[in-house]
Amino acid sequence: MIRTKQKRSGPIVVDLTGPDGNAFALMGLASSLAKQLGIESPTAEMMSGDYENLLEVFDKNFGDFVILER
């Protein structure tokens, strides 16, 4: 089925079990969002620990705009 692109409203939802949930995709999203918001990208802090640290730092910085689903 082909449909017309629908306008998104509300927060971005990221499924952590899918391809958008890998560390590189999340750091890319963080970098893009930081640029849009005019803030310094938290990617260095995201890389300073394990995957759980990455998620915590991402949520701390972008939790108002992005919902992470496990």
> Could you read off the pLDDT of 42-52 as tens digits, one per residue?
999 999 999 99
Q: Which residues of 19-56 are buried (b: 16+ CB within 10 A; e: fewer)?
A: eebeeeebbebbeebbeeeeeebbbebbeeeeeeebbe
The pLDDT mean for the chain works out to 95
Chain-centroid distance of CA 57 in Å reads: 10
pLDDT band at 65 (very low <50, low <70, confident <90, very high): very high
Question: Measured between alpha carbons, how far is 45 from 49 in angstroms, rounded to an integer?
Answer: 8
pTM: 0.86
